[in-house]
Structure 1
Amino acid sequence: MRSQNTGHRPNPLRRLTRRGAAALTSAAALIAGGMLALAPQAVAAPAASQASSGSVANPYSPAYQHPYRHGALPTLQQHAKMKAWAASQKSASVATGPETLSYGGGIDGIGVQSGHSKVYLVFYGTQWGTQSTNGNGDATFSGDSAGAAPVAQEMFKDIGTGNERWSADLTQWCDGPNVTTGATSCPANANFVPYQSGGVLAGTWYDNSGASPSAATGHQLGAEAVKAASHFGNTTAASNRDAYYVILSPHGTNPDNYQGQYCAWHDWNGDTTLTGGAVTSTVGDIAFSNQPYNMDSGSGCGVGFINSPGTLDGWTMTLGHEWHEMMSDQNPAGGWTNQTGSSYNGQENSDECAWIAPGQTGGAANVTMGTGTFAEQASWSNDTNACAISHAIVGGTTGNTVTVNNPGNQSGTVGTAVSLQMTGSDSDTSQTLTYTATGLPAGLSISSSGKITGTPTTAGTSSVTVTAKDSTNASGSTSFTWTISTTGGGCASPGQKLGNPGFETGTAAPWTASTGVIDNSTGEPAHSGSWKAWMDGYGSAHTDTLSQSVTIPSGCSATFSFYLHIDTAETTTTTAYDKLTVQVGSTTLATYSNLNAASGYALKSFDLSSYAGQTVTLKFTGTEDSSLQTSFVVDDTALNAS
């Protein structure tokens, strides 16, 4: 139980209390965020005898005593410690060699992805910012300062195109009833991983239903993957058999406390060792990965590893690392892992080739695909007994190539029916394509033959991905935007609609606010000007409100935005004690808490186009519990109609 704050001064002196707490919080935030360095301490190696507590023997591995972190790619610094420890051990005497992988027998009948992989990218949390679409049909985000999101999409679109052979290493791995547990090679009648012709990106989703946790647990990441499966309509075990959900956390977050330890890992929802207990799924086994915004770790997670400046080198390398490992070990460790008892014990194909410098045998390199070049690392190959950055297609077949024609960005109007026939082609002309789509505007649907029909019901811009698949599970996809406007022949009255948007009159009107909320003290500076709305910050049980009714003109698109700064004296990284709720009418747009505390203001924006022609009430409600202050400061509000 947290100790209770006592002795807080009531009004009119509460601002002094808030200023003092804010100053202490700022120092704590700097330390927690790594902006104030603490003196480094020597870290003793864990006793090697502890290795028996998990399948990973190396005590410096980020997966040591964290068995759900399958294929965890350590930071460069942590990798060096792992190598040094391994070199200090006596080599195990094994007939197959210390790096040879063997088959784990499958879990729930699954060892590898023996069909055409379907990769779903899940951008997890409102910190990604405002979503837009670039000329390639990729989702982009205002909070993505490194431009990582579109590169991830292009990489997965490009796998299996342009005759690239980086992914062909996977075609030696297999599963099925004809593969014996412990096998180190595949029989001819096995179910091989096929060469992934035509790309593997199956869809993208911006889950902006709330903020991503500052340090999401493994359980929260697994739950997000199960949530994503339902979002994409994969509601059966069969539809998830070849699916893979990449949970991409935003800049500034620390999912599963990756900083200083590792750069990414993968798992599946059946793993009962996840923090907080097993993730329950009613839609079959869910393969997913934890993909932090690891550019925040700099060179430790591969920035500049191959190229200069190479900002996204480690980003694409870790995305590729985890995908390779998921493909060869979908439900860990039922697929192909190291079971030799050597220092590589418990590792997967990409683990064994991590951080080999460019130019060395098996080193990382730029891989050219159909439309782009991406920094990737090699993966272990049993059949060549080496780390392979390029490999011949072996057990798997090249498969068919499916192409979906891009119709260009689309537009429409609420209440006006649309009809769009999608087209595509298959390298095997005898095949019939079956079409699916994600992200269609509300009111529209696609038939199996690729015809999109319906009547749009809601204004806004959607990122649409259409996928076509043939009977061999070969698939292709294309993405484009679809903008739906409101009826009425244009916006009746464009412009900014809120009164006193920056509170610079020094009074609330036409806002309705709790006493003392409109404030010009320097304890919490305004975003611009002198005045702002400062809710809570007492360090005791308290509720503040701020609201205004506004009419959104008919025929208009409308965006509600504001700048928000949160600071707190709370020290928890897992529990939301103090909350700010933002509503339009009775609908909650977002909820923020002490977990979202950060230095400076952040711009928040919401599409209210569906409320055109209505008068709505915009409302902020800040609720603080009985101890440890949290301040929610709002400034420069706007409701722009266009």
Structure 2
Amino acid sequence: MSIRPLASASRALAVLGTAALAVAGFAGSSPASASPTHFGVKPLHGHTTAAATATSGSTLSVGSSASQGVVSPTPKVYLVFWGSQWKNDPAGVAPDMQAMFKGLYGTQDTWGTILDQYCEGVAKGTVTCGSKGTHVQHPTSSPLAGVWFDNAAAAPGSATAAQIGAEAVKAAGHFGNKTQAPNLNAQYVVLSATGTHPDGFPNSGFCAWHDKTSSSYGTLAYTNMPYVPDTGIDGCTTLTDGRALSGIESTETHEYAETVTDFWPSIGWNGGNGEIGDACVNMDSFVKLSTGSFDLQGLWSNAANNCVTKG
């Protein structure tokens, strides 16, 4: 599991203030509950864990010679807005996430082309795929494959990791992905509503994380995506643009890319500083797509031997 910890925590707290945190329900939120087995921790800026730094030691190598579960060759994203609490979306997260994924394809999306150098079905330890293996394919149409507002009942106020995984399984059933085959490319982004505390957020020191879970539909890849704007303006991003949505855009692009390149963590692509996004937590860029401009986090490129925001 890769955790994308909060950025700009001090700025977020300064913006919200103690009173605002109490109004949001944070004063009583649970302490850190993230499992120590989580992979690729992206630290909270200003938190107790230092942020990863891009170096030559960040070079990614593949952790398995398997031909499935290593990467997601043709990524498909399913957005799951969990719980009746989504009737309240003060920052406009739901339309923003949909617009971002509707634009992450084609020639205008040069950020996504960073991913197509990575592959599966090659020898463990490979760092350059070349023409070998099955590569990630840059989408020629939107990777957004489905949107579900699961609002028949309220989501747990403080969902556990197991409950988040169970919601991903429920989503797979909802979307009709009931065998392993479609779930070799599907990633389920479980988005929690404002004021909720999935896996201890925000006091657990992360912005989001991704993982896998076993089910009757096969092994599923999913993301725990809290309501990042609750951390305040400029939370979970290194940009200081005053946008409430920049942090969640940066966070979700981090998790999306890490899921694509380490689909069932951690048999995919990892390096000395973790997964593809972990070495690049200090790089955010406001990028124009066909559906608008969004804060996309930089990713590690073996080809460039550096963090980059375009392939």
- Return the TM-score normalized by structure 1: 0.42
Matched AA of 2:292: G
Partner of 1:301: 235
Mapping for residues 416-431 of structure 1, pairs under 5 Å: none
Q: Is the 8 A contact 1:71 1:266 kept in 2?
A: no
2:182 partner SS: coil
State the partner residue of 1:384: 304
Closer, same or farther: CA 30–234 of 1 in aligned 2, 3 Å? same
1:66 has 2:24 as partner: no
Give the match for residue 144 of structure 2. Answer: 201
Q: Is the Cα–Cα contact under 8 Å of residues 26 and 195 in structure 2 kept in the other structure? A: no
Match of 2:246 in 1: 313
Q: For 2:110, what is the secondary structure of its paired residue?
A: coil
Residue of structure 1 in register with 2:80 after alignment: 122
Q: Kindly state the Cα deviation for residue 307 of structure 1 after the two structures are TM-superposed.
A: 5.1
User: Structure 2 length normalisation: TM-score?
Assistant: 0.85
Give 4+ residue runs of structure 1 displaced > 4 Å after superposition: 29-32
Hey, what's the Cα distance between the residues in 2 that align with 1:188 and 1:386? 21
CA distance, structure 1, for counterparts of residue 243 and residue 22 of structure 2: 27
Report SS of the residue matched to 1:244: strand
Is structure 2 residue 211 aligned with structure 1 residue 284? Answer: no
User: Counterpart of 2:115 in 1: which secondary structure?
Assistant: helix
- Letter of the 2:207 counterpart: C
Aligned to 2:45: 76
Question: What is the identity, as a one-letter code, of the residue corresponding to 1:156?
Answer: F
Q: Which residue of 260, 265, 287 maps to 1:327?
A: 260
Contact 2:212 2:219 in 1 (8 A): yes
The CA deviation string for residues 3-34 of structure 1, in whole angstroms up to 9 with x for no partner, is: xxxxxxxxxxxxxxxxxxxxxxxxxx959934
Is 1:265 aligned to residue 234 of structure 2?
no
Q: Match of 1:112?
A: 71
Matched with 2:120 is: 175
Matched with 1:528 is none
- Whether the 8 Å CA contact 1:161–1:370 is kept in 2: the answer is no
Q: Deviations over 1:186-215 (max 9, x none)?
A: 141210001112111011111113211111
Question: Is contact 2:233–2:242 with CA below 8 Å preserved after alignment?
Answer: no
Cα offset, 1:161, TM superposition = 3.4
Q: CA deviation at 1:146?
A: 0.4
Q: Secondary structure at the match of 2:232?
A: helix
Give the structure with the larger strand fraction: 1
Separation of aligned partners in 1, 2:40 and 2:146? 24
Cα distance in 1, alignment partners of residues 156 and 128 from structure 2: 42
Give the alignment's Cα RMSD to 1 decimal.
Answer: 2.6
**Does the 8 A contact of 1:321 with 1:377 survive in 2?**
yes
- Structure 1 position 322, deviation (Å): 0.2
Give the direction of change, closer, same or farther, for the CA distance of 1:72–1:210 in structure 2 (3 Å limit): farther
Measured against aligned partners, the alpha-carbon deviations of 1:32-81 in whole angstroms (never above 9, x if no partner) come to: 93459xxxxxxxxxxxxxxxxxxxxxxxx997x522x3444332222x74
Alignment of 1:351-390 (within 5 A): 351-354=278-281, 356=282, 363-390=283-310
2:162 counterpart (219, 225, 230): 219
Does structure 1 retain, via aligned residues, the 8 Å contact 2:257–2:277? yes
**Which one has the bigger helix percentage?**
2
Query: Could you tell me whether the CA contact under 8 Å between 2:164 and 2:224 is conserved in 1?
Result: yes
Q: Which amino acid aligns with 2:157?
A: S
Structure with the greater alpha carbon radius of gyration = 1
- Whether contact under 8 Å (1:157, 1:199) holds in the other structure is yes
Report the Cα distance in structure 2 between the residues aligned to 1:195 and 1:318, rounded to whole angstroms: 20
Percent of residue pairs identical:
38
In 1, Cα distance between equivalents of 2:285 and 2:198: 27
Question: Do 1:125 and 1:210's aligned partners in 2 also have CA atoms closer than 8 Å?
Answer: yes
Match of 1:33 among 14, 25, 30: 25
Question: Comparing both chains, which one has the higher relative contact order based on Cα–Cα distances under 8 Å and sequence gaps of 6 or more?
Answer: 2
Pick closer, same or farther for the CA change 1:35–1:267 going to 2, 3 Å: closer
Return 5+ residue gaps in structure 1 as ranges.
1-28, 37-60, 88-95, 130-142, 271-280, 357-362, 392-642
SS of the residue 2:218 aligns to:
coil
State how far apart, in whole Å, the 2-side matches of 1:120 and 1:128 are: 16
> Which amino acid counterpart does residue 387 of structure 1 have in structure 2?
C
Q: Which residue identity does 2:50 align to in structure 1?
A: M
Separation in structure 1 between the aligned mates of residue 33 and residue 126 of structure 2, nearest angstrom: 27
Structure 1 counterpart of 2:231, one-letter code: S
Give 1:228-239 correspondences, 5 Å limit: 228-239=171-182
Aligned residues: 287
> d(CA) in 2 for partners of 1:244 and 1:118?
6
| Cα offset, 1:163, TM superposition | 2.0
Judged with a 3 Å threshold, the aligned counterparts in structure 2 of structure 1 residues 34 and 123 are, in CA distance, closer, same or farther, namely closer
Determine if contact 1:77/1:300 at 8 Å carries over to the other structure.
no
Taking the aligned partners of 1:124 and 1:71, their CA distance within structure 2 comes to 25
Q: Secondary structure at the match of 2:184?
A: coil
| Secondary structure, aligned partner of 1:98 | helix
Map Cα deviations across residues 542-599 of structure 1 (whole Å, 9 max, x no partner). Answer: xxxxxxxxxxxxxxxxxxxxxxxxxxxxxxxxxxxxxxxxxxxxxxxxxxxxxxxxxx
SS at match of 1:311: coil
Change in Cα spacing, 1:186 to 1:222, as seen in structure 2 (3 Å) is same
